[in-house]
Every structure is written in structure tokens, then in C-alpha cells.
Structure 1
Amino acid sequence: MFSGKVVLITGASSGIGAATAISFASKGALLALTGRNAINLQNIAEKCEEKSNSKPLTIIGDLTIDSDVRNILDTTIKSYGKLDILINNAGILASGSIEDTTIEQYDEIFATNVRPVYLLTHLAVPHLIKTKGNIVNVSSLAGLRAFAVVLAYSMSKAALDHFTRCVSLALAPKHVRVNSVNPGVIITDIHARSGMLKTEYIEYLKKMNDMHPIGRVGEAEEVANAIVFLASDEASFITGETLSVAGGRQHVCPR
């Protein structure tokens, strides 16, 4: 399905990014994987290689550093000569309402979840125009629905969704599609990295099972499936979409 296609995935060392990398590898894509954790990234690269005959390109980098972002794109193009698909997946989560979210937390969230997406996309667009490629951004249900206790995170994902819509209109005449996936609660390590204790996480998942109409939280592979679909030719007439992968939670009223 993706034989010969070059796919760049940020945040590929764990969670949704890792699952997406493995899925693309199984479908013949040539991968450029980036993340901050060298050991985890190498482990995922090895799993990808097991799925195909191609060894992924791995690039260690911090997306909050502009020079690292430029190096990620430049290294990908230097290695493969082109770019077909950009998956903007990397992001962080932090809790807090307007009463207790500091301006430092706000800045950190936007510096990770929004600014690098803008810069990397800006740098990638000329290459995507050449290949008539596409972009899939990994957003969140929090971009579509209001959650008071993750204020800065929700704002960053809402910004990402509107970025998707605006860029999709700008690039549609040039045959470059741009879409987002908006996961509900997915089992990854993002909550642990945000500071949630293991015991708290177990209780949180129990509560979230009931909050999703389908009766459970999601798996990273299920989001990866949606990403791969949007990046494929099967989605050739879809652009500017924010696709919920949330077990129906996007339709639930607060209770």
C-alpha cells in the first residue's frame, strides 16, 4: 500500500507514534522516525524492520529546538530524496484549570504541541507538493470538546485542529491533503509522563471505560489504523477532516 513512500513520524518512540510506525512498516513504507528517547526509538525501529525489509532512519531530536526540527527534515530528505507523508504526532499532556495552570505550563504545552508542528510542516510543504503527499496531525478529543481540567492542553489541540483546516485549504489546490485524528483516552504512557501515579492511572482508566459509549478506552493500534487510512489513497477525497477515534465519546454530554 505504501511501497516506496517516505513517511516521517514525530514522537515515534512510544504510544501512538510507535504503533503508527509499525503499521506503516508492515505496509512497505520507508520510515524516518524521530523522538527524544534513543533507546526506545531504536527498539521501535527494530520492530519496524521485522515487519519489512527496510531499516528505518532514526533521528534523535527535541522538537522544541528549532535547529533539531530543521535537522529532522533535512536528514530525511538527504537520506531518501523526498517526503510523501508527514505524521505530526509528538505531544505532551499536563493537567490544570485556569485557576492553577501557570503561564510556564502554558508556554511549555504550546512550545511542544503547536510550534514544532507549524515549523516542521512549513519546512516539509515544498517537498510534499512535489510528491502530492499528505499530512496527518495527531490531535485529541480535547481539541473538539471542552475539558476545564486540561486547559492548556485542550487549547493546544484546538489550535492544531484549526491549523489542520486552514492548511488543508491552502494546500488543496496543490494536491496535498491535510487531516487530523482526535483520539479519546488511549492506553499509552502520556499520562505517566504528565505525572500521574500508577494507582491513579488504574482508577482513571476504570472511570474512562464508562465515559466512552463503546464501553472501554482505546488502544494505540486503533488510532494508528485511522492515521494509516487518512494517509492512504483510500482517503484521496478527504482533507481538512478531524476524525474522532474516541469510542463515541465525542457525542457524550457531560455528566
Structure 2
Amino acid sequence: MSFDNKVVIVTGGSAGIGAAISKLFAKEGANVVIVGRNEAKLEAITKKCAQVGKKPLTVKADITKDEDVKQIIEKTVQKFGQIDVLINNAGILGTACKIMDKNLVAAYDEVFNTNLRPVFLLTNLAAPYLAKTKGNVVNISSIGGIRGTPAYSAYAASKAAMTHFGTVAAFELAVEGVRVNTVSPGPVETEIFANNKDLNIELLKSRTAQNRISAPEEIAEVVAFIASDKAGSVTGSNYVIDCGSLVKK
């Protein structure tokens, strides 16, 4: 899969799944735009990408702020003049919160303002440029949007909404020659789970049919395929990568 001179935006691209995606696209020849909030992490992934491909453009941005989101598109177009792939990867698990907890709505606001609202805005702003290049969007959702996790209802609802948004966007943008697809990972070995005592990695492994969890690089490979010309007939699809989590009884 070659992405020579293609311009690829990756939100949440400085760590975890996003970092693996950024590095793989750089290796495949893309001009990668890495969006993140942590300068140290942005610098670290920039060095890794430059070792295997072109030095990426980094954009320090808080995607919960509309002005920051607009800057992502503006800086990308200013630098490269086009957008070929938008990967909406940034997201948070949020604070564990049960339905009867008093802070449920606060948890909802926090998660939806990070996981969903920026996806709407970024897709809206990038769509005219994607129409010019006949590009595509890949949304990183979760199996949590298919089978919710207790105490994380806001996260599950945000991912279900993201997946459904992708389906609608795929239908609407098909006429423009733009494809939209979703990738729904199960547990992945990232710091989100490594730092969560309620969802530790060994527990997550036991909940999968393969008794393992995915590496970020495995998710990146699927994303690259979907975004490539090899998947030219694929739109409105949701690829589940979960080591058999959904099939385990």
C-alpha cells in the first residue's frame, strides 16, 4: 500500500493506536499531519516517523475547542494544499460513572465533547477538500459501541454514535466520491488500559476468544488498508478487530 504524497490527518496521533497509524502512514510515503495535545509525545512520534518516512507536520490542538479544530484544517491546507485521508482517532474512555451517579451528565459532556463533536466538525470542514482528492475518512470507534461496558455508558454511547455517523456520512458523501468507514477495535495494548485498574490488560485478555489483546500496529494495518485504493469499493463499513471479544460467550 503506497500513500506517496497523500496528505493524511491523524487526530490523537501522538500515542497508542494513533501513533502506530502515524508511523505506518509515514512509512508508506504519506505527508502525515499528527494532531495531539502533549508536546513531548508529539516530538517523540515525529522522530519515529522521520526515521521511516517524511517528517510529519505536527499540530498541537485541543479538539474540544472549535478554533483548534479549524486550525488543524487550515494548517494542513496551508502546508500541503490538499487533504486525502482524515483519521478521526482521538478519544477518551472517560471517568467510570454508573447510571445512578450524580455526575452522569458531566461524564456524558466530557466524553461526547471529545469523542463525537470534533468528529462532526472535522468531517464537515475536511469534506470539501476530500471531495477534490476523492479521499476518505476512517473513524476509530470501539466494540464498546456494539456491546457496552458497565460504568462507561457515555463512552459506549459516544462510540455507537460515531459508528452510526460514519454510516450516514458514507451515504451522503458517496456522491462526492468520498468514502467513509469505521474501525472498531476491542481492547488494545495502550496506556489507556494499562493505567486503568478496573480494565487491566490481563482481565481484558481473559474476555477474548483468543486470550490476547491487539497491538496498536495491528489496528494501524487495517486502517491503512481501508484508506488505500485497494479498498476503493468499501464505504459505510465497520471493521471489528477484537481478538474474538464479541464472539466469546
TM-score when normalising by structure 2: 0.95
Q: Is the Cα contact below 8 Å between 1:25 and 1:48 reproduced in 2?
A: yes
CA offsets, 1:77-127, max 9 Å, x none?
A: 000000000000000002222122521111000000000010011000000
Give the C-alpha shift of residue 146 in structure 1: 2.7
5+ unaligned residues in a row in structure 1: which ranges?
A: none
Give the C-alpha shift of residue 252 in structure 1: 2.8
**What residue is the counterpart of 2:226 in the other structure?**
230
Task: Report the AA paired with residue 191 of structure 1.
Answer: F
**What residue is the counterpart of 2:170 in the other structure?**
168
5+ unaligned residues in a row in structure 2: which ranges?
A: none
**What residue is the counterpart of 1:73 in the other structure?**
73
**What residue is the counterpart of 1:21 in the other structure?**
22
> C-alpha distance in 2, partners of 1:65/1:173?
30
**What residue is the counterpart of 1:126 in the other structure?**
128
TM-score when normalising by structure 1: 0.93
Q: Is the Cα contact below 8 Å between 1:135 and 1:177 reproduced in 2?
A: yes
**What residue is the counterpart of 1:11 in the other structure?**
12
- Alignment partner for residue 158 of structure 2, among 146, 156, 159? 156
Task: Report the AA paired with residue 104 of structure 1.
Answer: A
Seq. identity, %: 43
Give the C-alpha shift of residue 192 in structure 1: 5.5
Task: Report the AA paired with residue 148 of structure 1.
Answer: P
CA offsets, 1:25-70, max 9 Å, x none?
A: 1110111111000110111011001001x21100100000000000
CA offsets, 1:166-203, max 9 Å, x none?
A: 0000011211100010000101112356xx24xx66xx
Give the C-alpha shift of residue 218 in structure 1: 1.0
> C-alpha distance in 2, partners of 1:137/1:131?
18
**What residue is the counterpart of 2:207 in the other structure?**
211
> C-alpha distance in 2, partners of 1:132/1:251?
36
Task: Report the AA paired with residue 139 of structure 1.
Answer: S
Q: Is the Cα contact below 8 Å between 1:88 and 1:117 reproduced in 2?
A: yes
> C-alpha distance in 1, partners of 2:230/2:115?
28
**What residue is the counterpart of 1:49 in the other structure?**
50
> C-alpha distance in 2, partners of 1:35/1:169?
29
Equivalent position SS for 1:181: strand
